[in-house]
Amino acid sequence: MEKNEAVFQYLVSPLQKLGLEEKLSYFSQICPPGLGAFPNQSIGQYLFSYVSAVNDKLHLNTDEKPLPEFMKEHGAAREYLLKSVVGEDCFPRYMQQLEELRSKRRKEIMENTSRLYHFSQVPPAEFGAYLTPRLQVAGNALSERINEALCYAAADKESHYIVKPPSNERKEWDGVSVYMDEKAVLISGRQPKEFLDKQKPSYRYEVDRSTFKPNVSLDGGFTNEYESSQNARVIGVDGPFSIIDLTASREEGGWGVPVYFLPDKTDKKAISEKINELRAKGATRAVAMKRVSEQFPDKLIFFNENKDLLTYARNLEAEQRKNAGRGTADSAVEDGKSAAGRTDMATGQYKTAGRGTADSAVDDGKSTAGRTDMAAFDDIIGSIGEEAMMRAYDGISLEDFGKPREDLDNRVMSCEEQRLNLAFYARAAYEHVGWRGFPAENRNGFKAAVETLYNNIDKPRRQGDFMAEAAEKTAKFIEDRHFMLGMGGGKAFAGGGKKEKRAVGSNFGYRKEMPDGMKILGEEYRTDRNGETYPLWKIGEMKSLAGEDLLVVSIPNLTDKNDYESWKGFIETFDKAYLENKDKWEKGRIILDVRGNGGGEDKPIDHVAKRLYGNLVNTYKRCEIKDTAVSNAFLHCHGAYKPRNYERDGLTAEKLVKRKNFSGEDRVLFDETAVYYPFNDKGGYHGRIDVLIDRGVGSSAESAYTSFYHHPNVRYVGENTAGMQQYTQGSFAMPCGYLMRVGVTKLTYWDKEGENIEVKGHKPDVDCRGKDAFEAVLQMPRDEGRILGFREKNEPVKGREVFAAYDPKAAADPRKAYYAKYLEPALTRIEEENKIERNKVLAEAVDRKLRAKGIDGTEGKKGGETEAAAEKRGSETAGISFRRQEAAAKAGKQGRE
């Protein structure tokens, strides 16, 4: 009891001086990794209860209570600790929930019969407590040593440990190493089956604490401080390695940080030397390890959110077992996701050989040998029909997105509901207009993640947790920054993966101190819903270091208005400055700063572009749709089809085209290449233009790139834009009530990357990352990196050239995909073309049938008519409907033109 009391006091006594948040932080760092290492397992369970209370979001007592004398009875100590944590009122309810949870876990654990036990199913406090007999030795021995090391690391925050067995066991044990970095931890080792089978279940590996010393080195490398520790998830102990899964999200019990894996054949000394070499040059250890892994990807394998550690581990171990001739169900290792004919996680295609046989089944207790119910991606999206996909569901809309929806987040989803909503989500993504154009690795990654999620659904879950996990693991594969799954409280998961941080300074409009000699000609500010003031635009003039006259136009923000009155101040200020001093600026420069502008209605950018162009401007080339019934339904969830919007265009619900015929192909909705607006040599601006862009320039603000692409003498300075300009979206509720936003039209542009710029963004001419773009453009030579004259386009201009007068009081050029009055004629045309094509196919089918029957079943031969003549006449009769419709369509097309 003295030993227990010492440990208990060591862990709890520091809490006397901490506030509640600090207490929780302390426990989240100390307890979960080291629970299995405490002298008495019960103490670990008490402390785990503390963390469980936090995770379950039960009421916490914020009053600080002095720690009484250590209670002799564990039950009393546990009760006191729990009551002090969850509060007197919640204690009975919490104890009931905790006992029910533990009973359920015990039952699940005892039912599992796999040789490889995945500790992720068991709370850390219960490591080794309910393992199958064959794994008892490996489980307890390994988990105690691992947790001992992690516990010390978390407590000291300055330690790195290598856990090794005594030297006399080196022949039987290859060792278990704990590699720690401020961002990564990996536990790796081997425990030969022959050695484990000889041990008695009571075997325990006693840790010699004197061997744990700070900053112990692995061949001179892999040493550093480890700054924070969360609950780890051990995914395997029996086999060639043991790994703590840090790539899992925090909600899943992982760290959610990078992990490095060293295969057995890796020369660890050489890798360590490479890392130390970079460290000597000033790189942090995290950066050094990442660079080395990039240089030697097969020797130091880097896992992050884009690479599945679990899949790699399973595949590697399965391959090693196969090579060792261990192919029986008793020794096969898997995580319950499939059998020998499992869906291939890289390609989504079935491996059919030997599928479902008992001797090749792979399992971890969640499934049985010979399981044949594994669903492939096509099966999953095929499990939900078109009618269910196109149905209107009650739930979160764009208008109320951001409001708390605890009724949705906290509801419990049955397994059936999880499968339904995951299938809906997956098929909605599959119906994305850009799906076919996404890189193969993205499509395959999305499919693999969906298959894994779907085939692992085995118990009811909180809706917010399940859908967040699904979106977190899949949305990154959808190359559309506007793609989104929206939950309660404004929580959202967007497509395209993690955004890069901006690295070329803030927009000039946010500057509080102006450069020397800067004269502000006009500016406008707005106030947001929180009462914070922000700049809408700012225009000023100054001289460069070389004495050039500069007109600086800053547009850091847009609004949802594109009319003249809303931007009257900007338009009048710019026109006065530019039109009255055009010669002055042509000898100098105009700087347009749109850094950080995330989008809105682009009226001010459009105005500047047209004034300097002397004509209307060319933005996108074409607009396409995915011509399917489901994608068409999503298109009609776009704002263009809200009654208040299409009624403003003079349409009614009765006048909207009713689509029935779909080609299943990508179809051109609008082709804007028939007309091209050239630069107006007489009225346009012949001087230099510098456009400052960065990773924050997204959506319609990226028109600052596309609208100026056709100007002469433009130079883009900064870094790539956000890449959010290619798709328009339909927004709708899922069956579970959450909001989805999916691309329904695709725009392509004239610049070199314009066919596919989503996520990647438009490239600058001068990349100045690490420097402020405004300061850089003031210092660089006038034409450094500038393309003088006109830029190369990604296809020849074939349309007729048109010069048109610009009226600033007119709205910005309409994006046709945003207005039903433009969408409806285009959709009507596609519907007519599809109908004609469908009738053509039917006519040809009838024609073939008539030929095969020798005209039987038709009018038959007429008097004196030969078989050939009758067949010809039958064929002509069968095709006449098609030809009439085709002629009518051509006449209609000519009339429209």
Whether 654 is covered by a domain: the verdict is: no
Do 217 and 142 have their domain in common? yes
pLDDT value for 542: 95
In the chain (897 residues long), the average pLDDT of successive 10-residue segments reads: 40 46 39 30 41 34 33 44 51 57 51 30 27 24 40 32 33 33 31 37 27 27 25 29 35 42 64 78 68 76 49 51 43 31 28 27 30 76 92 92 92 93 97 94 94 93 95 96 94 92 94 91 90 93 92 95 93 97 95 96 94 93 94 93 89 91 93 93 95 95 93 96 93 96 94 82 94 94 92 90 91 81 94 87 69 52 49 48 51 47
Do 168 and 91 have their domain in common? no
Whether 418 is covered by a domain: the verdict is: yes
pLDDT value for 840: 78
Closest CA to 173 of 138, 208, 143: 138
The one-letter code for the residue type at 131 is L
Do 168 and 278 have their domain in common? yes
Do 826 and 808 have their domain in common? no
* Token reading at 516: 């020397």
Question: Where in the sequence is the domain holding 445, given as residue range(s)?
Answer: 378-494
Closest CA to 174 of 65, 268, 56: 268
Number of C-alpha atoms within 13 angstroms, CB side, residue 322? 11
With 0-12 / 13-18 / 19 or more C-beta atoms within 10 angstroms meaning exposed / middle / buried, residue 818 is middle
| DSSP character at residue 814 | P
Closest CA to 748 of 709, 693, 696: 709
Do 417 and 317 have their domain in common? no
Q: How far is CA 168 from CA 165, 172, 174, 849, 884, in A?
A: 8, 9, 11, 84, 92
| DSSP character at residue 894 | H
* Token reading at 842: 């039917």
* E-state strands within 11-120: none
Residue for token pair 């302390």: 26
Do 688 and 793 have their domain in common? yes
Do 305 and 193 have their domain in common? yes
DSSP state string for 452-503:
HHHHT--S-EEHHHHHHHHHHHHGGGS--TT-EEE-GGG-EEETTSSPPPP-
Task: Assign 684 to helix, strand or coil.
Answer: coil
The one-letter code for the residue type at 175 is G
Do 824 and 719 have their domain in common? no
Size of the chain in residues: 897
The structural domain count of the chain equals: 5
pLDDT value for 811: 77
Give, to the nearest 10 degrees, the angle between helix 91-111 and helix 41-55. 110
**What CATH code is carried by the domain that includes residue 590?**
3.90.226
Question: In whole angstroms, what is the distance from residue 85 CA to residue 100 CA?
Answer: 19
For the chain, first and last CA: distance in Å?
Answer: 93
* Token reading at 148: 């001992």
Question: In whole angstroms, what is the distance from residue 897 CA to residue 886 CA?
Answer: 17
| DSSP character at residue 259 | E
Whether 489 is covered by a domain: the verdict is: yes
pLDDT value for 609: 96
pLDDT value for 92: 61
Whether 774 is covered by a domain: the verdict is: yes
Whether 731 is covered by a domain: the verdict is: no
- The CA-CA-CA angle for residues 84, 90, 92, to 5°, reads 100
**E strand or H helix that includes residue 285:** helix 285-295
Whether 635 is covered by a domain: the verdict is: no
The one-letter code for the residue type at 768 is C
Question: In whole angstroms, what is the distance from residue 150 CA to residue 428 CA?
Answer: 43
* Token reading at 329: 């169900």
* Token reading at 303: 């896992």
Do 466 and 407 have their domain in common? yes
Closest CA to 413 of 121, 53, 735: 735
Q: Which residues, in sequence order, are bridge partners of residue 609? A: none
Do 270 and 283 have their domain in common? yes
Cβ–Cβ under 8 Å, residues 131 and 144: no
Whether 524 is covered by a domain: the verdict is: yes
| DSSP character at residue 673 | G
Residues 6+ apart with CB under 8 A from 792: 752
Q: Which of 818, 843, 867 is the last residue of a domain?
A: 818
pLDDT value for 288: 72
Question: In whole angstroms, what is the distance from residue 595 CA to residue 605 CA?
Answer: 13
Q: Which of 444, 464, 494 is the last residue of a domain?
A: 494
Do 421 and 566 have their domain in common? no
Query: What number of other Cβ atoms are within 10 A of residue 265's Cβ?
Result: 7
Q: Which of 80, 106, 132 is the last residue of a domain?
A: 106
Whether 171 is covered by a domain: the verdict is: yes
Do 138 and 183 have their domain in common? yes
Closest CA to 281 of 292, 267, 293: 292
Cβ–Cβ under 8 Å, residues 320 and 240: yes
With 0-12 / 13-18 / 19 or more C-beta atoms within 10 angstroms meaning exposed / middle / buried, residue 41 is middle
In the chain, what are the helix, strand and coil shares in percent, each to the nearest 5? 40, 15, 45
